[in-house]
Amino acid sequence: MNGATALLQTLLACDLDVCFTNPGTSEMHFVAALDAVPGMRALLGLSEGVVTGAADGYGRMADRPAATLLHLGPGLGNGIANLHNARRARTPVVNIVGDHATHHARYDAPLQSDIEGLARNVSGWYLESRTVTDVARDAAQAVAAAQAAPGQVATLVLPADVCWDEGAEPAGPLPRQHRATVATDAVEQVAKALRSGEPAAIFVGGSALRAEGLRAASAVSRATGAKLLAETFPARLERGAGLPAVERLAYLAEFAEMQLSGLRHLVLVDTRSPVSFFAYPGRSSDLVPAGCEVHVLCTGGDDVPQALQHLLDLVGGGEPALQQALRPERPTGALTGETVAAALGALLPEGAIVSDESNTTGLWLAGATAGAPAHDWLTLTGGAIGQGMPLATGAAVACPDRPVLSIEADGSAMYTLQALWTQAREGLDVTTVILNNRSYAVLNMELQRVGAETTGSRAAELFDLSRPDLDFVSLAQGMGVPASRATTAEELTAQLERALAEPGPHLVEAVVPPI
Amino acid sequence: MNGATALLQTLLACDLDVCFTNPGTSEMHFVAALDAVPGMRALLGLSEGVVTGAADGYGRMADRPAATLLHLGPGLGNGIANLHNARRARTPVVNIVGDHATHHARYDAPLQSDIEGLARNVSGWYLESRTVTDVARDAAQAVAAAQAAPGQVATLVLPADVCWDEGAEPAGPLPRQHRATVATDAVEQVAKALRSGEPAAIFVGGSALRAEGLRAASAVSRATGAKLLAETFPARLERGAGLPAVERLAYLAEFAEMQLSGLRHLVLVDTRSPVSFFAYPGRSSDLVPAGCEVHVLCTGGDDVPQALQHLLDLVGGGEPALQQALRPERPTGALTGETVAAALGALLPEGAIVSDESNTTGLWLAGATAGAPAHDWLTLTGGAIGQGMPLATGAAVACPDRPVLSIEADGSAMYTLQALWTQAREGLDVTTVILNNRSYAVLNMELQRVGAETTGSRAAELFDLSRPDLDFVSLAQGMGVPASRATTAEELTAQLERALAEPGPHLVEAVVPPI
């Protein structure tokens, strides 16, 4: 068989059966093999930002990788930003980049570029398949690498001739690595710090944000009086009624410093020591207060729930503090960040997956949805905007029986709006709420925070999205997604309710004031 | 003054006064300085593919660079594909990438990544500004590097603190490099080959595709009987009535081989030896026929028109063959690639700039427009789709008094459709014609050409853009661009005529059959 056929058979044998793609000529044998090898679901994205963001959303929700299939360096380039987010989320992704045939490279044809230079930027693992006899084994390695705890982007470069040459054999999956058990010493040291009576916080991220880890962390917090804090931008946070409530570290360094103020011990649980998102003149980048000792309980390669349970045993056991069921009233009156949040809190369905790229307008979302039925919350992990709608798309593919809410700021939406088309084609049950404040509101704020002074309107022009206004209803309808516009809280609630009740994608544009 | 102010003053002193941008927090001092330093025009793009493609279009038409301003690695990543096209076009671009403050880098904050690894991919020149006292000189060097003949992408990385620190002084422009005069020996060797009586072709690209070079090349062709051929994807080709007509080398290798068949001499004039765009099983990548000698008359760093004039003198002088004024009749009946081309040929305005990303449906365009009034033709130089609409945007900024026609395939349009919003905001006189055949038609063709066999519909699904249909009228209106749909040649002609007569952007969706 040819390389492409063996590659697809290998991916399927490794339990990888979803591929997001925008292919080109160099990927045609892979594409043709989709007809020869049943079982691989291939989904088209109209730009590679959709493709890579969807693979991230799929991986976060499925806990196993999807593949991408991208077209040479430029296709990879278009997908870099959302692969950057996937890297920060530590999502398992098998990122396949088609390349020219090996013998064609020396001619420097127009699409030739340094694929490796691009791929290394976002990939924890990188390999270029060199011959048809290697490709199946290379693919099995890529899947294993993507799944190596805690998860990463594994890039496999696939020259066209490696796909079209004959002589390949499929390979089987490589053995899964087990997560490491954290040494007793390390856990005991953390237990000692938490029992010291000094102000302490448990700072949880990664896999500690799933129910099992959160329950143990919450119980430790109750047993020791240590504060429980989650990382600012979780890849996936399980939350809602019946789960432990956890406060997230604030995005703004000045608020984060308040949350961390006075601590003598900070325990890291599958996350990194907190740093400021950006640098600001005269402010520290390191958010750990002076005199606070940082302890590492466990990292992403470890068995995180086990480490937390061990810690809980050492501090005397106990029960977690669970969030009660509690929804806000349906809001009325003007649409604002608060009433949008209340509407979402009032209506969030059981088992929802929320892709949150709400940015400034989303300030009230966490509070308004804290007591909604249990759900998953996915955030912008790497700061590269344009993640939310592709992420929602991939999450919906991974979890076809769960409703997906894509809460999306207008400026970020325009980066990868093409995701709507894939949602329409695949009939995905995604309800997109566009928070249209007609500006890059975050930049108005950041301009002042960095201490930049303006005396005129040229800077303000670059944050203004109101000339002309973006009409997201037209834009969505242009890609086959039913859409409506809400200008009051009552309209938003009614439109959201209808969108959530009907299967398939919908978009509601919520016109909100600038922050 | 701070670094940002000195930077802007330096760019203006270097005759760079247009900046395409989508800024973020790390670029806020640059943005604020726009109000402090009058003279820099800053234009917002809703994604970086628009920003970098517009800078390419501007540079091709202005013959001097615009700046970009991008937000760290992910912003650069989003702009890589169109910078790749700019690299292949050898367009002068000053690509400015904001970065974290120098002291922030070691914290590996969420947006941190290897900017240099990305930038090297597309940049002929790269520098990271390290201190506020360097930044003005660095900027002057970047402009000089971008303009070094024949032109290139020069990337300057700009840490936030280098912008906000005080103590900078503006710098003046560096002296321009002169293009080299080609040695007499080289010209004489080419003249000898062309006078040998053996079958020969003059293969012109780059700056040889402007009127002056084309006239000399055409006269050489007439004087010697050598065939005149232009590179397949010119950055900018001057053509139309009163200019020399020049046939372009075909995209499909099998047709290119026919054009080159039997040649004994191939003279390269500011272009590279022809190679196949992609590799195909069993076909040669090198398109130069066996027994054909390749001669280099001049390259991009040389004074190309002078070399051609010198060659013309050596072969005995003479006049070029000029294209006569000739337009097709206004077409009637069904919309097809041929009738679309006829409509454009019938209506192309004097002095138009054509951004051609028409792909398969555009097959008849070159013929139908050959005798239209003189115009510039810009093509997809690097094969990274999504170039056309940003390119048209930048060309319109460079040449506000010239009409711009953006002829765009549906699949490519969806990559960077956000360019329409910038056209609307800036009131640019761009008429976009979407060739909507509801497919990635080129891939249907390429699938067969690479010899890939399919037995079902999964492959075909990935080329199909009809489920759901894209409604480009809605999409354009959603971004503030007046739009209409044409389903017959008469409708297209009428709608085009109206769009061309009114100032500002318009879009006409031409519904055409798959090829």
Residue from the list A24, A84, A101 with its beta carbon closest to the beta carbon of B113 = A84
Q: Average pLDDT of B439-461? A: 86
The encoded tokens of residue B461 equal 């699904």
Q: Average pLDDT of B232-239? A: 98
Which chain B residues are within 8 Å of A275, Cβ to Cβ? 107-109
Q: What is the pLDDT of residue B453?
A: 75
Q: What is the pLDDT of residue A286?
A: 97
Q: What is the pLDDT of residue A515?
A: 66
Angle at A63 between CA A61 and CA A64, to 5 degrees: 120
- What pLDDT, in 10s, does the model give residues A48-64? 999 999 999 999 999 99
Q: What is the pLDDT of residue A274?
A: 98
Which chain B residues are within 8 Å of A421, Cβ to Cβ? 414, 468, 470
Alpha carbon distance B389, B430 (integer Å): 9
Alpha carbon distance B54, B64 (integer Å): 13
**pLDDT above 80: residue B413:** yes
Which residue of chain A comes nearest to B110, CA vs CA? A382
Residues 6+ apart with CB under 8 A from B359: B385, B409, B411, B412, B435, B441, B442
Which chain B residues are within 8 Å of A453, Cβ to Cβ? 32
Omega before residue A305 within 30° of 0, cis? no
Which chain A residues are within 8 Å of B286, Cβ to Cβ? 107
Banded model confidence at residue B177, pLDDT cuts 50, 70, 90: confident
**pLDDT above 70: residue B515:** no
Alpha carbon distance A459, A445 (integer Å): 12
Q: Average pLDDT of B181-190? A: 97
- What pLDDT, in 10s, does the model give residues A309-351? 999 999 999 999 999 999 999 999 999 999 999 999 999 999 9
Q: What is the pLDDT of residue B55?
A: 99
Contact A25 B442 (CB under 8 A): yes
Angle at B60 between CA B55 and CA B66, to 5 degrees: 35
Mean pLDDT score of chain B: 97
The helix or strand, by DSSP H or E, that contains position B168, with its residue range, turns out to be none
Banded model confidence at residue B473, pLDDT cuts 50, 70, 90: very high
Q: Average pLDDT of B187-191? A: 98
Name the stretches of chain A with pLDDT < 70: 515
Residues B106 and A113: beta-carbon distance below 8 Å: no
Q: Where are the alpha helices (DSSP H) in B195-260?
A: 211-224, 253-260
Residue from the list A35, A442, A477 with its beta carbon closest to the beta carbon of B455 = A35
Which residue of chain A comes nearest to B29, CA vs CA? A452
ipTM above 0.95, yes or no: yes
Beta strands in A165-274 (DSSP E): 200-204, 227-230, 237-239, 247-248, 265-269
- What pLDDT, in 10s, does the model give residues B265-304? 999 999 999 999 999 999 999 999 999 999 999 999 999 9
Which residue of chain A comes nearest to B118, CA vs CA? A118
